[in-house]
Structure 1
Amino acid sequence: MSGKKVLMLTGEFTEEYEIFVYQQGMEAVGHTIHVVCPDKNEGDLIKTSLHDFEGDQTYTEKPGHLAEINKTFSEAEAELDSYDAVYCAGGRGPEYIRTDPRIQAIVRHFHETQKPIFTICHGVQILMAVPEVLKGRKVAGLGACEPEVTAVGGIYVDLGPKDAHVDGTMVSAKGWTALAAFMRECLKVLGTEIKHT
């Protein structure tokens, strides 16, 4: 099997685990992950954040590591047909990149061409900006996103912290603690089979 090409949508303060763990895990099995951010070029760095639940009413946020953009945004836009799937990483980035018409056009492209869409945590906010993507679909995300999912006609799925959900070729999860299950389901959708001997 030849490796697949996945476009990862990020912004400043995207959740670091959902960039690094996903990218490195997928690359380890032979897939290409292009990490892009609006108006950023290959080689640019973005700040990331680390979210955790530590007994407060909501999550805490701490500075993460710098993440390297490995594909110029405008180049990725021009090559959408070459990608096999799009991945919406979570954290704080989605709340503002979702308002960018270019991001919306990218999501719409994957929806209309019926290619896989992967989303975790707040990544579902990116999909909310293109309501037809979620209409009638079952999707997971951080619990705080449930009202928005419902408002655009989606069906929110309340998963355990280590679980993932599959609706056709859409894979979703609640947050970074589910990355193992999430990536396992993404690999299945991409047709990647890992055998142990």
Structure 2
Amino acid sequence: MSKKVLILTGDAAEVLEVYYPYFRLLEEGCEAIIASPTKKTLHTVVHDFVEGWDTYTEKPGHLLQSHIGFADVEPSDYDGLIIPGGRAPEYIRSDANLPRILRHFLEADKPVGAICHAAQVFAALKDTSFFEGRTMTAYNACRLDVEQLGASYAAETLHVDGKLVSGHAWPDLPGFMREFLKLLK
């Protein structure tokens, strides 16, 4: 039986951080399900690094159909979870269904992949005990978010702590997916 992985995202997700994991999971024979606050066509964005800028730039990306709304997600149906970054995490974290979804994966010790701004989503839990004593990385602008969870911020761009795989940004996707797939198998 193939593995089933949930991808939690929304509008303004970084296009590579959604598409790369999605197609990589399909390539491995996994079932990949994209969930968003409501089932809809999502608008992704392209973040890039430009010399001389202190932050990234953003342009519209591709359209992407989600398969299911958060309210309809039954987390026990899934073997793993991936949370892409971009700006989507800053608003999906306020969805009332998000804590129950996240809590399931963390309590069941299933593989969780969080890249870029995804660490912001974990603020929805209110209970930071899942992260106390752990180490994770994220986009450098999210260092405070990681530390507010009670985790230590790893300077390296890819970090694995138990079943939690975290990455800095889209250039880290090859290693991020390699490590996530190791845990999933």
Q: Same fold (TM over 0.5)?
A: yes
Stretches of 4+ aligned residues off by more than 6 angstroms: none
TM-score, normalization: structure 2?
A: 0.93
What's 2:109 paired with? Answer: 114
Residues 92-149 of structure 1, C-alpha deviations (whole Å, 9 max, x = no match): 0000111222112211111112212110000111123322332221111000111121
What's 2:21 paired with? Answer: 22
**C-alpha separation in 1, matches of 2:183 and 2:20:** 18
Find the residue that maps to 2:143 and give its secondary structure: helix
Residues 149-196 of structure 1, C-alpha deviations (whole Å, 9 max, x = no match): 112211111124xxx2110111110011010000000110011xxxxx
What's 2:44 paired with? Answer: 48
**C-alpha separation in 2, matches of 1:87 and 1:104:** 15
Q: Which has the higher strand share?
A: 2
The answer to whether residue 119 in structure 2 is matched with residue 124 in structure 1 is: yes
Letter paired with 1:135: E
Instruction: Report the alpha carbon displacement of residue 75 of structure 1 after superposing the two structures with TM.
Output: 2.6
Query: Where in structure 1 are there 5+ consecutive unaligned residues?
Result: 192-197
Q: Identity of aligned pairs, percent?
A: 39
Residue pair 1:50, 1:63 contacting (<8 A) in 2 also: yes
**C-alpha separation in 2, matches of 1:92 and 1:166:** 23
What's 2:32 paired with? Answer: 33
Residue pair 1:127, 1:134 contacting (<8 A) in 2 also: no
The answer to whether residue 138 in structure 2 is matched with residue 144 in structure 1 is: no
The answer to whether residue 172 in structure 2 is matched with residue 178 in structure 1 is: yes
Query: Where in structure 2 are there 5+ consecutive unaligned residues?
Result: none
**C-alpha separation in 1, matches of 2:134 and 2:163:** 11
Residue pair 1:8, 1:35 contacting (<8 A) in 2 also: yes
Find the residue that maps to 1:48 and give its secondary structure: strand
Residues 4-37 of structure 1, C-alpha deviations (whole Å, 9 max, x = no match): 1111100110111011111001101101111010
Find the residue that maps to 2:33 and give its secondary structure: strand
Find the residue that maps to 1:66 and give its secondary structure: strand
What's 1:189 paired with? Answer: 183
TM-score, normalization: structure 1?
A: 0.88
Letter paired with 1:147: L
Query: How many aligned positions are there?
Result: 182
Residues 36-89 of structure 1, C-alpha deviations (whole Å, 9 max, x = no match): 101x22xx211011111102010111100001112343332xx21110111111
**C-alpha separation in 1, matches of 2:96 and 2:177:** 28
**C-alpha separation in 2, matches of 1:119 and 1:70:** 20
Letter paired with 2:177: M
Find the residue that maps to 2:156 and give its secondary structure: coil
What's 2:68 paired with? Answer: 71
